[in-house]
Structure 1
Amino acid sequence: MNFIEIIVDGKGSARAEIDGRNPRTAAEIMERLPQEARAQLWGEEVYFSLPFSLADENPSPSSEAGDVSFWTPGSAFCIFFGRTQPYSAVNTIGRIVSGIDVFPRVEEGDRIILRKGEG
Structure 2
Amino acid sequence: MSNAAKRIVRIEVGAVTLQAALNDSQTARAVWEALPITGSANRWGDEIYFSVPLTLPEENPQELVAVGDIAYWPEGPALCLFFGPTPVSRGSEVRPASPVNVCGRIMGDATVLKAVRDGTPIRIVRPEEK
> Structure 1-normalised TM-score?
0.90
Structure 2: tracts of 5 or more residues without a match:
87-94
Q: Deviations over 1:19-67 (max 9, x none)?
A: 23xx100000100000110000100000100022111111111111000
1:109 to 119, 123, 127: 119
Checking the alignment, whether the CA contact within 8 Å between 1:4 and 1:15 is kept in structure 2 is yes
Q: Secondary structure, in 3 states, of the residue corresponding to 1:104?
A: helix
Q: State the identity %.
A: 37
User: How many residues are paired up?
Assistant: 115
Moved over 2 A (4+): none
Deviation for aligned residue 1:99: 4.8
Checking the alignment, whether the CA contact within 8 Å between 2:82 and 2:110 is kept in structure 1 is no
Checking the alignment, whether the CA contact within 8 Å between 1:5 and 1:116 is kept in structure 2 is yes
Deviation for aligned residue 1:100: 1.8
Q: Which has the larger radius of gyration?
A: 2
2:34 to 32, 46, 55: 32
> Structure 2-normalised TM-score?
0.83
- 2:29 is aligned with 1:19: no
Distance 1:99 1:110 in 2: 19
Distance 1:65 1:101 in 2: 8
Structure scoring higher RCO (CA < 8 A, sep ≥ 6) equals: 1
After superposition, the CA RMSD in angstroms is 1.3
